[in-house]
Amino acid sequence: MFLAPSGANYQRAAFTLLELLAVVALLALLSGLLLGAARRIGEVGRIARAKAELAVLAAALENYQRLYGDYPQTDDPAQLLQSLLGRLGPRNNVSSTRSWLTLARYRTALSRDPLVDSSATLIDPWDQPYRYIYKVPAASWGNVSYVLYSLGPDGQDIRALLAGGFADSKLPENLDNLYANRP
């Protein structure tokens, strides 16, 4: 048996409950900051992806217009995709030309294959279909003959277009919309 020398004062080496709570609170705070930063980085990545996809879609529409002399005359996202795949002409008549899109770079709603299912639509990083509005012939737009955009992170917009052919970007629902052909 071990006997302590007389007068020796041994204290037990351990953490107090208060110290443990402080460490747990600090770890929770740091992990919360890290998760918040990761979410913001993820959102910035989704915005960048949507902008890049919109740019490629706008380029495909321009190539389509060079061949046919007009843009696809539809507001239906599925018909737009079929047009850009070379299966529909400007007035939604059956056509068979080359595709202006590389499908591997895009996601479709419910992972539908647009080469098999003509109701497939391209979706943005927030799982909403890209919006496309063809110019009404009588309208006097200041932009090209279409509006192509993503609803953005909040998934909301007010589709009413201004006289120039663009959505009102001052409305709260449209603040985060991403446009392919906005000046």
For residue 6, is it within any domain?
no
For residue 107, is it within any domain?
yes
Instruction: Give pLDDT, residue 38.
Output: 82
For residue 76, is it within any domain?
yes
pTM score of the predicted model: 0.77
For residue 4, is it within any domain?
no
For residue 8, is it within any domain?
no
Q: What integer best gives the mean pLDDT of the chain?
A: 86
| Domain enclosing residue 152, as ranges | 17-179
For residue 3, is it within any domain?
no
Q: Which helix (H) or strand (E) holds 35?
A: helix 17-68
For residue 9, is it within any domain?
no
**63 pLDDT above the threshold of 90:** yes
More confident residue, 177 or 2: 177
pLDDT per residue as tens digits for the range 84-141: 999 999 888 998 888 989 888 899 999 999 999 999 999 999 999 999 988 866 566 7
pLDDT per residue as tens digits for the range 154-174: 988 877 777 777 777 788 888
Calpha distance 87→97 (Å, rounded)? 7
Positive or negative, the CA dihedral 113, 115, 121, 122 is positive
Amino acid identity, position 98: R
Instruction: Give pLDDT, residue 15.
Output: 80
Question: How many domains would you assign to the chain?
Answer: 1
Kindly write down the DSSP assignment for every residue of 52-111, as one continuous string: HHHHHHHHHHHHHHHHHSS------HHHHHHHHTTSB-TTS-B-----S--GGG-EEGGG
For residue 81, is it within any domain?
yes
